[in-house]
Amino acid sequence: MSSPTPKLAPGTYKFTVKSIDQAVSLIKEKLGSSARVLSVRSVEATGLRKFFVAPKLEVIAQIDAPIPALNIISEEPATPPAALLSQLPVPPRTDHDRLGQGPATLGLSALLLRSGITETALTRLQAGENWNLLNSLPLHRALAETSRLLRTQVESRPSRAPLSRAAFLGAPGVGRTTALCKWLAQEVIRRARLGHVVSVEFDRPNSLGPLPVFSEAMGIPLAHFPCETQAAVTNGFVYFDMPGLSTRRPADNAQLAAFLDREAINERVLVLNAAYDRASLRDAYSAGRDLGATHLVFTHLDEVPQWGKLWDYLFDEALEPLFLATGPSLTGDCEEDVPGAIVRRTLPEDRN
């Protein structure tokens, strides 16, 4: 599908927008596919408003190709294009830029970082063989292709068999038991599977939270270890609600690791609170990896405005993303298309 014909005369234009999606839409609609992004910066409100109003994006773009002006007013008509150019430390376009290594590169990189993608994920993209090609595309196409590339990298991992005998692991307070309830609801309601749940305690109490009432309501037997840990019905599931793991003292997890090995529980679901800061997330992730985690669940996504930081964890092929908990409901708010959901919240997808 061909790009729309630009509606503005050649020159430089400044747009103040609320999001990347709005920036891409405006550039695509008003400037067309030949437009170049010269700069992108975050603009915060002044005074007390900055505590209540989200920052906006100031995008400066330029049309080089001669097209007839249609007399349509730009987003900020009072600022002449020449004045905008004089304020920017950007040289005229050269062949170097067309190869994706000049201001256009900075435009794409800045927008990716603004979307919440971390420096680690951006470095991974820049090291790929497609990076120069991405920067040779119009911005809206480059962002759409980047989202497709990220999703493909996650979905290309070898597929695993469905869960059947798994322990749910996580630090205290991450929503581990709530995540287990969400998964049980998917198993029973959507997939019509049968099975039971085992609650495990060691020297530390394991608060069951809503699990006893939820299990009774769903008709799922709840047993307390020591008990039978094998499936009670043919092809049935057995899920284990485990005590909280320690993120700072690996030695404290020795009893937990010994139990998982002794009971031959090879499927181990690591539950992480996505609202935690990056250092806390890394500590919890490392602790889960040390315990042999095989699957990954992120909780509290309803409290996280930007999901881009999650890409760092999806690149690890040793852990398969299981689902995202996007709200407090025990029987819903469960997104199993993990890369697709993060793409939709991180970058625009090409729907042409």
- DSSP letter for 199, please: E
Return the pLDDT at 46.
Answer: 58
User: Could you report the per-residue pLDDT of 152-186, keeping only the tens digit for each?
Assistant: 878 777 778 889 999 999 999 899 999 999 999 99
d(CA 283, CA 68): 57
Return the pLDDT at 262.
Answer: 95
Return the pLDDT at 3.
Answer: 47
Length of the chain: 352
Helix (H, G, I), strand (E, B) or coil at 262: helix
Rounded to the nearest 5 degrees, what angle is found at the Cα of 116, between the Cα atoms of 114 and 120? 105
Q: Is residue 258 exposed (0-12), middle (13-18) or buried (19+ Cβ within 10 Å)? A: exposed
d(CA 221, CA 216): 7
Helix H, strand E, coil C: the string for 116-175 is: CCCHHHHHHHHCCCCHHHHHCCCHHHHHHHHHHHHHHHHHCCCCCCCCCEEEEECCCCCC
Low-confidence ranges of the chain (pLDDT < 70): 1-8, 20-21, 33-34, 38-55, 64-106, 204-205, 348-352
Return the pLDDT at 117.
Answer: 84
Return the pLDDT at 26.
Answer: 78
Looking at the chain, the whole-number percentage of residues with pLDDT higher than 70 is 76
Return the pLDDT at 42.
Answer: 67
d(CA 271, CA 267): 13
Question: Which amino acid type is present at position 322?
Answer: L
pTM of the model: 0.67
Tell me the fold of 165-336: Rossmann fold (3.40.50)
Return the pLDDT at 66.
Answer: 55
Question: 91: which residues sit within 8 A by CB, 6+ positions away?
Answer: none
Return the pLDDT at 64.
Answer: 67
Domain boundaries, the chain: 11-155, 165-336
Closest to 335 measured CA to CA, from 149, 193, 192, 186? 186
- Look at the block and give the residue holding tokens 């190709």: 65
Q: Edge to edge, what strands does the sheet with 11-17 contain?
A: 11-17, 56-63, 36-43
Return the pLDDT at 90.
Answer: 37
Return the pLDDT at 241.
Answer: 94
Q: Are 67 and 9 in contact (CB under 8 A)?
A: yes
Return the pLDDT at 318.
Answer: 84
Return the pLDDT at 315.
Answer: 83
